[in-house]
Structure 1
Amino acid sequence: MKILILFLTISLTNYSVTKKNIEKERSLLKTEYLSNENKANTLNEARIKLTECLYNDIFNHWYTTKWSFEGHSEKPKQGTIACGYFVSTTLRDVGFNINRYKLAQKSPEDEAKVIACGTSIEKLQNVSKQELKKHFLKQKDGIYFIGLDFHVGYIYKNNQEVYFIHSNYIENKGVMKETIENSKAIVSSKYFIASITHNDNLIKKWLLKEIIATN
């Protein structure tokens, strides 16, 4: 028990440090963005940095955290977290100025619209997992939000691989990364997709710490 408590304490300390380091990098990029005439370059730097921080730093802390329907833990590997709260909490912790409670309580379609920040979302209906993968293989590498009938999570597309990162309700497995082919949870009659990596409106919100409206 003492070893477990020590492990959780170290993990939470590391997570706190991770968030602080991300905030420092975001703040530096903000300063660069505001002072640089070529804002497109800084925006691309921010796009790359945000994607790296979310995928390599934030997600890695949350893997194996258990799922429950009412789960809304703010601490990786402690308590439980529902799929909507996994998305909203990780977005907040990577530096977005967002109300994680209001976002998590929205429908999958409305959650996609909030994340889209005024840009259009993609809607797919009656497609197989194979067709869903083919769709993402045509997209740019990066992170996307995906809403299903009754579930939400992230898609991470890298070269020829497409991963579903989510808090898995099946057998309460919780936060995990799996290929689309191997995911039982990604089956849905419709999908609502919003780009995170390639949404300039969203990247600017992160960069400038502007509020993302959830009303």
Structure 2
Amino acid sequence: MAQQPAEHIVKTLAPALKTWRFRDRPVSEVIDRLRSAGAGLYVVGLDYHVGLLWNDSAKVWMCHSSYLGEAKVVCEDALTSPAMVSRYHVVGKLLEDGMMDAWMKGRALPTFIP
């Protein structure tokens, strides 16, 4: 799944009703949408990268495998994260009922294939 386009990864992990797309929009608009959606864990697909967004109700954090400089996992303020610079953002809420049911029952999530 990690080798698929970001859109397909988000469609595999998040329900359609809890998925939002932003094209040529400022990062602040993406963050504002997540703040209004509530605290939780989200997957974000970008032009060339995928990460997790954690809304802790105070701040939205971008957690990802950094490809900028030394390779490592980082969590940084999503509003100022260089990794969030992208023409396209697709964001989906994780840990919703379908995902949790599959995990609890030991079922594989069906990978989205167009």
Q: How does the TM-score come out when normalised to structure 1? A: 0.49
Measure the CA separation in 2 of the matches of 1:152 and 1:204: 24
Residue matched to 1:169: 67
Q: In the alignment, residue 67 of structure 2 is paired with which amino acid? A: Y
Secondary structure at the aligned position of 1:138 is classed as helix
In structure 2, the partner of 1:18 is none
| Root-mean-square deviation over aligned CA pairs | 1.3
Please state whether the residue corresponding to 1:104 is helix, strand or coil. coil
Matches within 5 A, 1:91-130: 103-116=1-14, 119-120=15-16, 121-130=19-28
Displaced runs of 4 or more, over 2 A? none
Match of 1:157 among 55, 59, 77: 55
How far apart, CA to CA, are the structure 2 residues paired with 1:202 and 1:146? 16
Deviation (angstroms), 1:182: 2.6
- Give the match for residue 98 of structure 2: 201
Structure 2: tracts of 5 or more residues without a match: none
Report the 3-state secondary structure (helix = DSSP H, G, I; strand = E; otherwise coil) of the residue aligned with 2:90: strand
Relative to structure 1, the CA distance from residue 173 to residue 182 in structure 2 (aligned partners, 3 Å threshold; closer, same or farther) is: farther
Secondary structure at 1:171 match in 2: coil
Residue 84 (structure 2) pairs with residue 182 (structure 1): no
Provide, for residues 47-98 of structure 1, a one-character-per-residue CA deviation record: whole Å limited to 9, x for no partner.
xxxxxxxxxxxxxxxxxxxxxxxxxxxxxxxxxxxxxxxxxxxxxxxxxxxx
Percent of paired sites with the same residue: 25
Give the structure with the larger helix fraction. 1
Q: Which amino acid aligns with 2:51?
A: G
Shift of 1:172: 3.1
Aligned mates of 1:133, 1:115 — CA distance in 2: 20
Gaps of 5+ in 1: 1-102
Structure with greater strand share of residues: 2
Q: CA deviation at 1:181?
A: 2.4
Distance in structure 2 (CA, Å) of the matches to 1:196 and 1:172: 28
TM-fit CA distance, 1:144:
0.5
1:158-213 C-alpha deviation (Å, 9 max, x unpaired): 1121000000111134201000123111111111112113x211111111111112
Whole-Å separation in 2 of the counterparts to 1:147 and 1:196: 13
Deviations 1:6-57 (A, max 9, x none): xxxxxxxxxxxxxxxxxxxxxxxxxxxxxxxxxxxxxxxxxxxxxxxxxxxx
- How many aligned positions are there? 110
**Cα distance in structure 1, aligned partners of 2:33 and 2:89:** 12
- The aligned residue for residue 34 of structure 2 is 136
Instruction: Calculate the TM-score normalised by the size of structure 2.
Output: 0.89
1:122 deviates by 1.7
